[in-house]
A and B are shown apart, each in its own frame.
Chain A
Amino acid sequence: MANFGLYGVPKLMLKKVSKTYASARGQTDALHQIDLSVKSGEFVCIVGPSGCGKSTLLKLIAGLDAHTGGEILADGRRVSGPGTDRLLLFQEPALFPWLNVLHNVEFGLKMAGVPEKERREKALGVLELVNLLKFCNAYVHELSGGMKQKVALARALVMEPQMLLMDEPFAALDAQTRATLHEELQQAWLATKKTIIFVTHNIEEAVRLADRVIVFSSRPGRICREIPVNMARPRGSYSYAGIAALIEEIAAELKSATPDAPLEGRAKAAELTKQEFIKQELAKQELAKQALTKQALAQKDQAKQDTAREEMHSEDYSQKVPVSYTAHSSVAGRLQS
């Protein structure tokens, strides 16, 4: 698949995008002159401290909020309002409690005026792919957190959007569910090369998923660094030496990007040329070996924590029908169509 959209126009182009909130206490700069270009089929993760405006940026791209400066171009067209080509997945699943699962998934198609029979077919198809067909008559409060998020994903996928904007969609889930959803998402993306912009504060998540990690500094939010992640996919957690090293690097970057020293981070970003970056990569590989041993220790800890969590959650699961997360290939197929 070509890396560029029609006529080589990037899928998404941000030109000096700013967002200022006016309140009684004066003006707050949420985002300051963001320049970003995303290729078609690219998976971009945005990490940053909380309050750095990364969620705001997604809302601007989705057209749910108006930017106060600059220009946002999606597929070469200026964004001036919400559109179903750019669908936002929220941290909360934002499903409608008055509709059952099926009608929730059908909602967007209904708004688009798709006839009832057709939208029922499409919705059932997508629900089958995320393995929730059994639950199509369930109401939202009867679902677990992971299932809700999958319904939200199905609700977005059924619209066949050009771009998926994901705002910490897995942040509220437990570790196991998150890991399986990471896998699913990677598989789906690998098969379809949909453009995904994924916001998170979890560095590990970002490195695991992204082609390119964009580090934000806070107040006002701005890009302080972009780090490409050139590692083979699919990536498991801690399966590559590079992941650990990259995580440490981004963590260090985030530290320097705290509100006290935003300019420092910015200057750093400007200094970093590509060559330096390659040098760093080499040095990193050295570091990675050390990091791996550290990581192995950490992993043991994690495993302990996970079993503890599992015990905690096992009660939850036994109440619901067990969810299977083995639908990657079918989701992938759906995305492709």
Chain B
Amino acid sequence: MWQVACSLNIWPEYIFPSPLAVLRRFIETLHNSTLLIAISTSLRRIVIGFGISLIGGVITGLLVGRSTLLQDTIGSIMLGLQTLPSICWLPLALLWFGLSERAILFVIIMGAFVAVAVSTEVGVRQIPPLYLQAARNMGARGFRLYWDVIIPAALPGMITGMKLGWSFAWRSLMAGELLYVNLGLGHLLMMGRELSDMAQVVMVMLILIIIGLISDKLIFARLESFVYERWGLRKDIR
């Protein structure tokens, strides 16, 4: 359909590229390895940034969810930060870290960390008190209470946080790369714009969609359905 629309020649090629042109560009960038470098750079950034956010966010969420003192202090700060689009941290990050890898990681973390922490905290708060009472009655306390009861009980909330955090991280990364930061897919996209190379722009966008779909279908959808099945939250959808 796309090819047919292009063959009609309604729009010039530099505004609406044909799939063949996109494919040609894809093979070209694959050959001179710019594409692979871009994908691997972006993926490395997001994996590191998201990984740090996930670990830090889950720990913060678990602690804040169980303590009223932390809830009143850190909890409210987190809620405030959540309203701030994470790309707004970029100017600050650039001043602090310079035009470096650390600046973009900082932006990713600021985007994903809070989302993960807040969802985890909500997950912890929504644990039925009955589970905690039963666990304490059977002698669970301290670390064991966290590891064997609170973490598994809050897992549905944590997974929501992971999904949310991942998409926030991805968005912050692209925004950062589009604006300033070298290499990466966002940068490739921007270069396409600057060179008026529409085929490259469309190609990068398609790759972004594919990465998004893969990460969602392969990781998060599976995790989610596993947890929901185990918890008995979902019976038979089909």
Expressed in whole angstroms, the Cα–Cα distance for A82 and B153 within the complex equals 21
With A90-B134, A96-B153, A107-B148 known to touch, is A82 a contact of B232 (CB < 8 Å)?
no
Q: Mark A74-108, 1 if CB is under 8 A from B, else 0.
A: 00000000111001101010101111000000011
A291 to chain B, nearest CB (A): 38
A111 touches B148 (CB 8 A): yes
A139 touches B232 (CB 8 A): yes
Chain B interface SS verdict (over half):
helix
Q: Which residues of A contact B139 (CB under 8 A)?
A: 82-84, 108, 111-112
B230 touches A139 (CB 8 A): yes
Cβ of A14 within 8 Å of any chain B Cβ, yes or no, is no
Interface centre among A62, A88, A94 (most CB of B within 10 A): A94
With A90-B130, A140-B232 known to touch, is A62 a contact of B153 (CB < 8 Å)?
no
Cβ of B24 within 8 Å of any chain A Cβ, yes or no, is no
Cβ of B149 within 8 Å of any chain A Cβ, yes or no, is yes
Which chain B residue shows the least CB distance to A65? B133
A159 touches B138 (CB 8 A): yes
With A96-B153, A141-B231 known to touch, is A82 a contact of B148 (CB < 8 Å)?
no
Which chain A residue shows the least CB distance to B144? A111
Residues 110 to 142 of chain B near chain A (Cβ within 8 Å): 130-131, 133-140
A64 touches B148 (CB 8 A): no
B156 to chain A, nearest CB (A): 10
A171 to chain B, nearest CB (A): 14
Residue in B130, B137, B140 whose beta carbon sits within 8 Å of that of A92 in the complex: B130
Cβ of B39 within 8 Å of any chain A Cβ, yes or no, is no
A64 touches B232 (CB 8 A): no
Cβ of A110 within 8 Å of any chain B Cβ, yes or no, is yes
B138 touches A108 (CB 8 A): yes
Cβ of B152 within 8 Å of any chain A Cβ, yes or no, is yes
A279 to chain B, nearest CB (A): 43
A96 touches B152 (CB 8 A): yes
B136 touches A94 (CB 8 A): no
Count A interface residues, CB 8 Å: 26
With A96-B152, A97-B231 known to touch, is A62 a contact of B144 (CB < 8 Å)?
no
Interface centre among B130, B134, B149 (most CB of A within 10 A): B134
B138 touches A87 (CB 8 A): yes
B231 touches A98 (CB 8 A): yes
A266 to chain B, nearest CB (A): 31
Residue in B133, B138, B153 whose beta carbon sits within 8 Å of that of A107 in the complex: B138
Residue in B131, B148, B232 whose beta carbon sits within 8 Å of that of A94 in the complex: B131
B138 touches A96 (CB 8 A): no
B152 touches A94 (CB 8 A): no
Cβ of B201 within 8 Å of any chain A Cβ, yes or no, is no
Expressed in whole angstroms, the Cα–Cα distance for A333 and B70 within the complex equals 49
Q: Mark B152-173, 1 if CB is under 8 A from A, else 0.
A: 1101000000000000000000
Expressed in whole angstroms, the Cα–Cα distance for A142 and B230 within the complex equals 10
B238 to chain A, nearest CB (A): 18
Expressed in whole angstroms, the Cα–Cα distance for A112 and B144 within the complex equals 10
Expressed in whole angstroms, the Cα–Cα distance for A88 and B231 within the complex equals 23
21 contacts between A and B (CB under 8 A): A82-B139, A84-B138, A88-B133, A88-B134, A88-B137, A90-B133, A90-B134, A94-B130, A96-B131, A96-B149, A96-B152, A97-B230, A98-B153, A98-B231, A107-B140, A108-B138, A108-B139, A111-B144, A139-B232, A142-B232, A159-B138
The 6 closest A-B pairs by CB, nearest first: A141-B232, A108-B138, A94-B134, A98-B152, A111-B139, A94-B130
B interface residues with partner A (beta carbon < 8 Å): 130-131, 133-140, 144, 148-149, 152-153, 155, 230-232
